[in-house]
Chain A
Amino acid sequence: GENVEQHPSTLSVQEGDSAVIKCTYSDSASNYFPWYKQELGKRPQLIIDIRSNVGEKKDQRIAVTLNKTAKHFSLHITETQPEDSAVYFCAASSPRGYGNKLVFGAGTILRVKS
């Protein structure tokens, strides 16, 4: 089955700096790659996603890039702010089997220091 690895496990940046979180996946059939943000004690919420037919997607300060050949994708946050502090999860969705199943990475704790 699909396996998603996420790095780093923790990331500290100064306010205003950029943050990059990287994920790799194993199943070449995976075709959907979302990123979720989870604030302390809250539910995960989708912040951006990308499909396998697109190489890059941007939404204001956040962007996601996908390299299908290398089977990795990354989240980029520019001009970080204290409210960006949270746990970020990448995921991959494979169409194999019964309904697309989301497989998550282990998460990255992002701390933005002001």
Chain B
Amino acid sequence: NAGVTQTPKFQVLKTGQSMTLQCAQDMNHEYMSWYRQDPGMGLRLIHYSVGAGITDQGEVPNGYNVSRSTTEDFPLRLLSAAPSQTSVYFCASRLLGTDEAFFGQGTRLTVV
């Protein structure tokens, strides 16, 4: 099992550009989520999904879109990147009915 895989690991965007951060898991986890990590603020939930076709907003959803067409994949889209979106992004997954969340290795995004 590869676990939770995120791509890319690093990305630099110009303000206004769009991009998609990819997240895939091979553990058949129903629950997937995206967090952003900023210094002194911990991990904040952006969006989450409890299964294919079902998504919901977390604490800081503005500026981000998600979709869940398969159990394995949960991409995060930035439609028009802003410098405030410079952060490290983590995808996490877990089985519904269990509690342990497994994290991907992170994507460091810089918006200039």
- Residues on A lying within 8 angstroms of B by beta carbon are 1, 4, 6, 9, 32, 34, 42-46, 49, 89, 91, 93, 97-107
Contacts and interface: CB of A to CB of B under 8 A. Distances in A.
A34 B99 contact: yes
A104 B43 contact: yes
14 contacts: A1-B59, A42-B105, A43-B104, A43-B106, A44-B103, A46-B100, A89-B43, A93-B99, A101-B33, A101-B58, A103-B59, A104-B35, A105-B42, A107-B40
Interface in B12-66: 31, 33, 35, 40-45, 48, 50, 54, 56, 58-59
Contacts of B74: none
A49 B99 contact: yes
Contacts of A34: 99-101
Interface string B80-94: 000000000010100
B5 to A, nearest CB: 11
- Give the interface centre of B41, B42, B48, B50 by most chain A CB atoms within 10 Å: B42
A102 B43 CA distance: 9
Given A99-B31, A101-B58, A9 B40 contact: yes
Most chain B Cβ neighbours within 10 Å, of A6, A93, A98: A98
B39 to A, nearest CB: 9
Interface residues of B, number: 25
A42 B106 CA distance: 8
A105 to B, nearest CB: 5
Best-surrounded residue of A9, A46, A97 (most CB of chain B within 10 A) = A46
A98 B35 CA distance: 17
Contacts of A105: 42
A6 B40 contact: no
A34 B50 CA distance: 20
Nearest to B106: A43
B42 A43 contact: no
B48 to A, nearest CB: 7
Nearest to A98: B56
